[in-house]
Amino acid sequence: LAKRASHSTIPVVLEGEAGVGKEMIARAIHAGSDRATKPFVILNCSAIATEQMESTLFGGEAADGADERQQGKFLEADGGTLFIDELGDLPLEVQVKLLRAVQSGEVEAAGTGRRRKVNVRLISATAKDLIEEVKEGRFREDLYYRLNVFPITIPALRRRKEDIPFLARAFAERFSIEQKLP
């Protein structure tokens, strides 16, 4: 599925528990795409304070309160891929602006009133059940359908035990190369 997704520019949502490799798959999708030489930018929604989310995503006042403005993740990713991790933690008020950006292909830095066209491929990831989040009113239904065009569910390793020997071999090979061992 990731290989098929890499040949497209439609939004992808990676679903799965923490630790299943959602970021690794997002990087693989980007690397296999025609945007591979362009930026791969990560925004982890659970790592950013709610009041800083809008300016971090779209640009605006610097997070440290300085007089300078920050560019925003959308502009950093222009031409490439924006990976939004922990999408389910995105505040509702920012979801509205993300929906507008997805629909129009334009972003507006906080407080500027100026809109700028961007060309960004969106890949999102979540450990939450977004349908349940929609039902509970914590996630916008219209945004869900805009982003969840190509969903990929990644099962936990305990559900795909047949992968363990391949992973063990890959880790052993990487370790032996790093440590210069046979």
Q: What does the DSSP 8-state code read for residue 41? A: E
Give the predicted TM-score (pTM) of the model.
0.87
For the segment 57-80, what is each residue's pLDDT rounded down to a tens digit?
998 765 555 555 678 999 999 999
- CA distances from residue 99 to 74, 88, 94, 126, 146 in whole angstroms, order as listed: 13, 14, 9, 17, 8
Burial class for 37, CB neighbours closer than 10 Å (0-12, 13-18, 19+): exposed
Res 85: pLDDT = 96
